[in-house]
Chain A
Amino acid sequence: MRRVLRLGLLVVAGYALACGPTDTTTRLTFSGSALGPEGAVIRQQLARFAEHRPGVRVELQVTPDSADQRHQLYVQWLNAHAPAPDVLQLDVIWMSEFAAAGWILPLDAFAPGVDDFLPAALAAARWKGALYAMPWFVDVGLLYWRTDLLDRAPRSLAELREMALRLRETDATRFGLVWPGARYEGLVTVFLEHLAAFGAGILDARGRVIVDDPAAIRALAFMVNALNVDRIVPSSALTWQEEQVRFAFQNGEAGFMRNWPYAWTLLQDESRSRVARRFAVAPFPAGEGGRPAAALGGAQLAINAWSAHPTLAFELVAFLTAPEQMVERGRLAAQLPPRRSLYENPELAAALPIPLDQVRQVLEAAVPRPATPVYSEMSEILQVRIHRALTGQQPPAAALQEAAREMRALLMRAGLSAEGPT
């Protein structure tokens, strides 16, 4: 026993010796997507950041690429007040949760320049008026449409429905429209676009649940009709996520597809895609009393509230969100920057695969998901209820009334009274 103890002490001493010299350098850790082109860009940029700062070492802390798993890990770390990682890549829908929990630092003290950022992206980085994260890249829901079958993108929801019906009835395509309808977060983004198209929403500006309003019920009824009455959306779409939706569109089976920017490059690959160079993108069109919409996704950078080096961490955040780094990210990882000025920049136009004029049009229609600390649970309630309505287990009105009741109960339990944030 004593020998084991002595051996242990030796190991510890050796470790301390080995680490001794490096303790004078400041270690900053960054956690985010580290796979494929995204990983290559971030490694390159972290190294460049450290280059001009002697005594600073930046480490990439690898986390799971699946959003749910990364979220779970972050929650466990931050709940335990772990000082690392200093800088975190957050999915836009996590920010309010982390800010409300006090796990990330408000950034206003660092006086970041935010005038250039897209308003929707910036709104998604604020909680109770304070800025808690810097928008890093944006993802937007796109309506892909076939340029070989249609003259132009639909200008209204009614037009989209007519076009899709015509395509399916004339057998030009097997399905009119395809969207991801499986019970997961992607379904909520599709629903969000339908809500905006009908002038409805999930929460109002004061944080009250409005998803059972008549306009919201009309939006869900439109989705149900598209499936069961017009049959422009195949019922199998209720088991599809982005990739299955892309396969259907890529094989020429659909006239319209709701998907994200990542699909663009894959659809242009002529060796696999039957629709290469025969499609364009537009925002999801407006219905009665609504507006064109594109669900906003993407990532932000935030600083761990228990970071030992908040100032240095903010320097890293500012560096990563600077225009040069964003253009490079656009070129290497095809991710859209949240800075408006860059969309006038010919360098970005050359770097991005999607034509800038089409992207700009969609970005103007960007709709953020509700900013609430209980977003994930709220989304899960919606996923279940919407899916029930779409699979005919519940009428749209009843489904949304139930969803609203559950969401109000959730806000009550969380101490976020339904009469607005406390």
Chain B
Amino acid sequence: MNHRAVPIERGETRLAWLLVAPAVAVILLVSLVPIAVTAWEALHAHDLRLPWLGRPFIGAGNFMEAASDPRFGAALVHTVAFALISVPLELMLGLALAVMMHSAVRGRAFIRVSALLPWAIPTVVAALLWRFMFEAQTGILAASFQTFGLVGPAFDWFVHPLAAWVPIIAADVWKTTPFVAILLLAGLQTIDPALGEAARIDGASPAREFLTITLPLLAPALVVAAAFRMLDALRLFDLAYVITGGGPGTATEPLSLYAFIALMQRLRFGYGSALSVIVFLLTFAFALVWVRALGRSLSGARS
């Protein structure tokens, strides 16, 4: 704040710095140092399995390799496409769920708890459930789709490069829609009911009321929910790892999974680190842009 104002406050400022120093040190140690080390590693050719090559500094070599690596390009496309498909779905369904929860007269607590259940289930467990449901021959969903003639009798979801995305997106939407709904419900509850009442007295239809009053006032909450979801979706790992393992081929492999394979399976520490740095930069860039947009929309809502 205005710590330059009065001399007496200078001592207090120093004390304040002293008090936050441990926290700053911890953040440096557990967050910034590892990120810096990873970034430094990303500038080296370091393959644990090829010790005779040593660990030479190669500058942007790993990043150049990523740029010309078709598997990396595909993974990037997969990640962005996944985020752009699943997040809007979650926002729409979450909004519908929030409105329902908001207008429920009876059994509010029950509805909220049951809506939140998917969110409470660990991701890996949820992923396994969805995997089982889509498994050919034994999966309940796979069998239902066959009975209704939506897919052929021998159709296997995990063998088709596009169909394999369906269980991943379904699992993500199922699991995170409640989270979006709760965020939006909180937003709905801050809207003054008098506004809606006034609109109704003026003869506005429910649709008009929703579009011109509820939605604009809910915008800040929507922006926050979208930011959280996008950041998560861009780091997609566990659902793909458990449900498809990135297959068939590498048709459902997101960036984080490819980085994991490069690091932990191929033990290519340099290249894997470069991929991790790219994932980090991608989410970071998105966060920066979004926070700016968010700040603008929030101030816009206030004025």
The chain A residues found within 8 Å of chain B, CB to CB, are 68, 72, 75-76, 79, 97, 100-102, 182-183, 234-236, 238-239, 373-374, 376-377, 380, 384-385, 387-388, 390-391, 393-394, 414-415
Contacts and interface: CB of A to CB of B under 8 A. Distances in A.
A239 B264 CA distance: 22
B48 A236 contact: no
B245 interface: yes
Size class of the contact patch on chain B: 20 to 34
Contact of B156 (A236, A394, A414): A236
A391 B49 contact: no
Contacts, number: 85
B249 A415 contact: no
Given A376-B266, A380-B265, A391-B161, A97 B49 contact: yes
Nearest to B51: A101
B48 A75 contact: yes
A79 to B, nearest CB: 6
Closest 8 CB pairs between A and B?
A388-B249, A391-B248, A236-B136, A239-B158, A183-B247, A238-B159, A387-B249, A236-B156
Contacts of A380: 261, 265-266
B154 A182 contact: no
A388 B249 CA distance: 5
| Candidate in B52, B137, B159, B245 with the most chain A CB atoms within 10 angstroms | B159
B233 interface: no
A100 B159 contact: no
Nearest to B251: A393
B223 to A, nearest CB: 38
B51 A102 contact: yes
A183 B267 contact: no
B250 interface: yes
Contact of B245 (A97, A101, A183): A183
A68 B52 CA distance: 22
A394 B248 CA distance: 12
B161 A377 contact: no
A236 B160 contact: no
Contacts of B245: 182-183
Interface in B269-300: none
B249 A391 contact: yes
B16 interface: no
Contact of A183 (B49, B51, B249): B249
B13 to A, nearest CB: 29
A235 B156 contact: yes
A72 B261 CA distance: 12
A238 B49 contact: no
Interface of B: 47-53, 71, 135-137, 154, 156, 158-161, 245-251, 261, 264-267
A90 to B, nearest CB: 14
A248 to B, nearest CB: 9
A414 B247 contact: no
A374 B159 contact: no
B50 A75 contact: no
A101 B50 CA distance: 7
Contacts of A235: 136, 154, 156, 159
B267 to A, nearest CB: 6
19 contacts: A68-B265, A101-B50, A102-B52, A182-B245, A182-B247, A183-B246, A235-B136, A235-B154, A235-B156, A238-B158, A238-B159, A374-B50, A377-B266, A388-B250, A391-B159, A391-B161, A393-B248, A394-B249, A414-B53
B49 A373 contact: yes
A97 B251 CA distance: 29
A385 B265 CA distance: 17
A315 B102 CA distance: 76
Contacts of B159: 235-236, 238-239, 391
Nearest to A416: B50
Given A68-B265, A235-B156, A236-B156, A384 B249 contact: yes
Contact of A415 (B52, B137, B156): B52
Contacts of B264: 72
